[in-house]
Amino acid sequence: MPSRLIYLAFAAAICSAGSAQQASSHEDLELDRQLQAVAAAHHGKVAVYAENLMTGQIAEFAADEPVKTASTIKMGTLLDAAEQIRAGHASLDEKLVLNHENQVEGSGVLGELDTPLALTLRDTLTLMVVLSDNTATNMAIDRLGLAHINETLREAGLKQTYLYKKVYVPAAGPMPADQPKFGLGKTTAREMAAIMARLAQCRLALDGSAAKPGDGAVCGAILHMLRNQQDRDGIPRYLEFLDTSEHGSAIANKTGALDALRADVALVASKAGPIVIAAYTYDNTDQRWNGDNEGEQTLGKLAKAIVDRWSPTGLDPESFNWPRRRIPDERISTFAPHSRAAAILLKSTLRSDRDTPNPS
């Protein structure tokens, strides 16, 4: 079958599955109680939303409470990059140039390298995800446009998700009144999960129009970045113990951290279907910057409760297809879904993420 026809069949299956899942979504009250118990034991506040994209099951606790995003707002930048690429306004292979004046502190490596330095947009986004590189993030924001990113978030129906500014750069121009409270960005657990679900199901048409033939390639490239996430201290903490740099992970995620906040947004390939989890711990008493931080442990406990409840036999990375190595734009084809899940491209290794200590 020609590749275009394969893609169209794939997109139709995704849309059909997404509609069925939305219609059959139902609250798991027992899991809600379990999540509430984990939150009650935490020395701080918790917000979490989870959904099984196969069965429509959902569970939540304080899922609509606005929270600081830390680096999880970079999910919004990924979504806007996908929109601009599919519209022909950007390309993963286009070249960006890093200059010394654009280097900032915090997580990542680009701030330590000699300039000028040329990178592709793909490499810039990859560093923004896998190392939470703040300089790469600002390069992406400059290329895509802060206003355009926020317009994409609005068009996606996200009313509480907003990127206020670049990282380690003062807010410029008229700002919403709540910017000082939230710093870099704000969101809710439900809305951040919606971004991950949109990428997982490759629903890039924000207006609900038909998918384009290149959508699968765009989703594949972005989910491949997320699967290479190197911070494993949150949602993956109690779910996966193999060397994912060699064997591949069942989890694609983006983390965020501030002194009193730990957050993680993930797509988990379970044996019972793909599960999206967005979890935030904030106003935390424990402000240690190490793997034993209570916020990190709480994220792991929330994720384990969800997976144990919905998929007692655990994870199954083989329920998805993904590229075994990075593939150029023109060679990324649509990956047909397995019988139990949509085509999701994932990969992960191991590292700790450190975001802006002062989000303002």
In a domain, 101, yes or no: yes
Predicted confidence at residue 288, as pLDDT, reads 97
Say if residue 63's pLDDT is above 70: yes
Q: What does the pLDDT look like over 70-103, one tens digit per residue?
A: 999 999 999 999 999 999 999 999 999 999 988 9
In a domain, 241, yes or no: yes
CA 267 to chain centre: 8
What's the rounded Cα separation, in Å, for the pair 216 and 334?
Answer: 5
Q: What single-letter amino acid sits at 154?
A: R
For 97, left (φ over 0), alpha (ψ -120 to 50), or beta? beta
State yes or no: cis peptide before 116, omega within 30 of 0: yes
Predicted confidence at residue 357, as pLDDT, reads 41
Q: What does the pLDDT look like over 142-190, one tens digit per residue?
A: 999 999 999 999 999 999 999 999 999 999 889 999 999 999 999 999 9
In a domain, 190, yes or no: yes
In a domain, 125, yes or no: yes
The CATH number that applies at residue 42 is 3.40.710.10
In a domain, 359, yes or no: no
Q: Is pTM beyond 0.95 here?
A: no
In a domain, 358, yes or no: no
In a domain, 89, yes or no: yes
What's the number of domains the chain is made of?
A: 1
- Lowest mean pLDDT segment, chosen from 29-43, 293-307, 328-342: 328-342
In a domain, 29, yes or no: yes
Residues of the domain holding 238 = 3-351
Q: What does the pLDDT look like over 292-316, one tens digit per residue?
A: 999 999 999 999 999 999 999 999 8
